[in-house]
């Protein structure tokens, strides 16, 4: 009985960890930073890259959502002062300071 439970857990783990292999060339400086992060976290370089990409994608999605929400507020704004403030904020988000 215990074997069946273990087998089910292993099968579940395999399904959850399916991956697509990608090959990426990294600049030396970036590869060294990733190696340092991996060593500090006590994980593999691949795990560090996946974690960093996950964080970056999450941040990208949050910035995109914030931009779209701001653009919607700009579009619906009827107050000229608020419209100008939102326009400036959109410009900063798009082009920086």
pLDDT tens digits for range 48-77: 999 999 999 999 999 999 999 999 999 999
> Do 71 and 90 contact (CB within 8 A), yes or no?
yes
Q: Is residue 19 part of a domain?
A: no
Place of tokens 């959850």: 16
Total domain count for the chain? 1
* pTM exceeding the 0.75 threshold for the entire prediction: no
Is 2 a member of any domain? no
Residue range 37-50: average pLDDT? Answer: 95
Q: Please report whether residue 12 resides in a domain.
A: no
Contact in structure between 74 and 83 (CB atoms under 8 Å):
yes
- Cβ atoms of 26 and 34 closer than 8 Å: yes
pLDDT at 7 over 60: no
Q: Using 50, 70 and 90 to split pLDDT, how confident is the model at 16?
A: low
Residue 1, pLDDT score: 46
d(CA 9, CA 97): 51
Q: Which domain holds residue 44?
A: 27-95
């Amino acid at each position: 009985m215990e074997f069946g439970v273990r087998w089910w857990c292993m099968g579940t783990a395999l399904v959850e960890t399916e991956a697509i292999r990608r090959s990426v060339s990294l600049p030396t400086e970036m590869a060294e930073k990733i190696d340092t992060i991996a060593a500090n976290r006590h994980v593999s370089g691949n795990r560090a890259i996946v974690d960093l990409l996950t964080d970056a994608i999450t941040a990208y999605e949050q910035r995109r959502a914030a931009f779209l929400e701001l653009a919607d507020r700009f579009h619906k704004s009827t107050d000229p002062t608020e419209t100008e403030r939102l326009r400036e904020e959109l410009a900063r988000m798009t082009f920086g300071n």
